[in-house]
């Protein structure tokens, strides 16, 4: 393993639209490369511009805090996700403490922060996340796809074992910080069976997790696909025909496999009383809090339609409407009060049907504080 110093010119990446799974508006990666070396990692895919041996050489952005100090004062507050592409709590963090400094800088500027990790090293910084929770919002969540040690050892060789991640999650929950699990990617023929899904969900719920977000595997052309298929050839040759059938030469599963998997996860989440989506953080002083809640509902409808295998144009209609409401500079409640449904229909992508739906939601929020529109995340 090699570590190289790296001078970053920019540290914060602004997303074109809010991430409707994790609610991030920005991403920050203190490291480039990841020593966890997960076999399925799609950061290996060419699109991220990382080297194919990205688990052999990790670049350390030593000037991260200095650059953030210049960038943060110019940005609107929004959730910052750390380590979305390369795990922020990979082993080098023990010594360099770079993520700790980055989180401190973000919290110092009152930015809500979240981290998704496969390492229990994050517990070292629990004080920071607990403080950020009190000041604005923080979420520390973990990738756990299985508790089978052999599968985890083969596919996530450098990460903390799943039992330790779960124990870390229990402590995060105990500290009053939002937590849960990304159960992704569930690997076809390996970890996508009902027993495994139920095992993960029930243990996460028992440990105080608030949500389980599930997702399937993507197989992108090039290094990621080659590496993954190589492991299947060595250890799971019996599932290769299944992959041929599900993926062919594409990067996503074909047909109903994906929605069916997510429906099964939703069903088990319902049985265990845990959400299958993450609740969107809306800060109490956000003047556009109601817009965010309306957008959240529209995003949830998009997800429901995905699970229902509705036509893609219908899913896109809700997604585009959600983006439009989310990115408005004016309070959607004011617009409705002044102009009624016509006002709602003046928002890009919102026609008669959607304006009726939004009107119903606005009416249910009437008389409550402007971000009190309740959104149900898993008890449906
Ligand atoms: S921890 Fe995440 S970023 Fe690191 S190798 Fe695994 S999947 Fe990739």
Q: Whose CA is nearest to atom 3 of ligand 1?
A: 86
**Kind plus residue range of the DSSP H or E element containing 241:** helix 240-247
DSSP one-letter string for 258-311: HHHHHHHHHHHHHHHT-BSSPPPP--TT-TTHHHHHHHHHHHHHHHHHHHTT--
Pocket flag, ligand 1, residue 37 (CB < 6 Å): yes
% of the chain with per-residue pLDDT over 90:
89
For a substitution probing ligand 1, which of 31, 35, 40, 86 has the most ligand atoms within 8 Å of its CB? Answer: 86
Q: Whole-number mean pLDDT of the chain?
A: 93
Higher pLDDT, 153 or 372: 153
Residue whose tokens read 């040759």:
237
Alpha carbons 21 and 277: distance in angstroms, whole number = 7
Return the pLDDT at 379: 40
Task: Let me know the angle formed at the C-alpha of 359 by 335 and 281, rounded to the nearest 5 degrees.
Answer: 80
CA atoms within 13 A on the CB side of 290: 21
pLDDT tens digits along 313-334: 999 999 999 999 999 999 999 9
Going from the N-terminus, what domains does the chain have, and what CATH number goes with each?
Answer: 2-272 (3.80.30.30), 289-365 (1.10.150)
For a substitution probing ligand 1, which of 33, 38, 93 has the most ligand atoms within 8 Å of its CB? Answer: 38
Return the pLDDT at 370: 46
pLDDT band at residue 372 under the 50/70/90 scheme:
low
CA atoms within 13 A on the CB side of 68: 26
C-alpha 163: how far from chain center: 21
State yes or no: pLDDT of 286 exceeds 70. yes
Return the pLDDT at 298: 98
For a substitution probing ligand 1, which of 22, 27, 33, 43 has the most ligand atoms within 8 Å of its CB? Answer: 43
Cβ 319 vs Cβ 299: under 8 Å: yes
Cβ 207 vs Cβ 241: under 8 Å: no
State yes or no: pLDDT of 173 exceeds 70. yes
């Amino acid at each position: 393993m090699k570590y190289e110093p790296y001078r970053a010119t920019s540290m914060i990446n602004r997303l074109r639209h809010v991430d409707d799974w994790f609610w991030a508006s920005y991403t920050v990666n203190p490291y480039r490369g990841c020593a966890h070396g997960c076999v399925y990692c799609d950061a290996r895919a060419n699109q991220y511009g990382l080297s194919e041996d990205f688990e052999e050489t990790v670049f350390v952005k030593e000037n991260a805090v200095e650059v953030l100090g210049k960038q943060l004062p110019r940005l609107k507050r929004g959730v910052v996700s750390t380590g979305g592409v390369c795990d922020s709590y990979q082993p080098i963090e023990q010594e360099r403490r770079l993520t700790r400094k980055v989180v401190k800088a973000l919290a110092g500027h009152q930015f809500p922060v979240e981290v998704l990790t496969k390492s229990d090293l994050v517990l070292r910084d629990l004080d920071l996340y607990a403080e950020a929770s009190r000041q604005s919002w923080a979420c520390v969540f973990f990738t756990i796809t299985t508790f089978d040690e052999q599968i985890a050892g083969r596919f996530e060789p450098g990460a903390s074992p799943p039992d330790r991640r779960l124990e870390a999650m229990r402590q995060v929950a105990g500290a009053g910080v939002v937590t849960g699990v990304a159960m992704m990617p569930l690997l076809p023929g390996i970890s996508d069976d009902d027993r495994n899904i139920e095992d993960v969900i029930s243990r996460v719920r028992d440990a105080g997790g608030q949500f389980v977000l599930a997702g399937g595997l993507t197989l992108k052309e090039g290094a990621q696909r080659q590496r993954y298929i190589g492991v299947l050839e060595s250890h799971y040759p019996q599932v290769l025909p299944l992959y041929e059938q599900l993926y062919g030469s594409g990067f996503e599963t074909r047909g109903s496999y994906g929605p069916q998997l997510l429906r099964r996860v939703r069903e088990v989440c319902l049985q265990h009383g845990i959400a299958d989506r993450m609740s969107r953080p809306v800060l109490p002083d956000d003047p556009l809090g109601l817009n965010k809640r309306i957008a959240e509902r529209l995003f949830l409808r998009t997800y429901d339609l995905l699970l229902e295998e509705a036509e893609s144009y219908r899913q896109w209609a809700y997604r585009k409407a959600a983006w439009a409401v989310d990115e408005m500079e004016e309070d959607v409640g004011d617009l409705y009060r002044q102009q009624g449904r016509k006002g709602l229909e003046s928002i890009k992508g919102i026609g008669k049907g959607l304006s009726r739906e939004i009107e119903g939601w606005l009416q249910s929020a009437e008389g409550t504080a402007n971000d009190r529109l309740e959104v149900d995340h898993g008890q449906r």
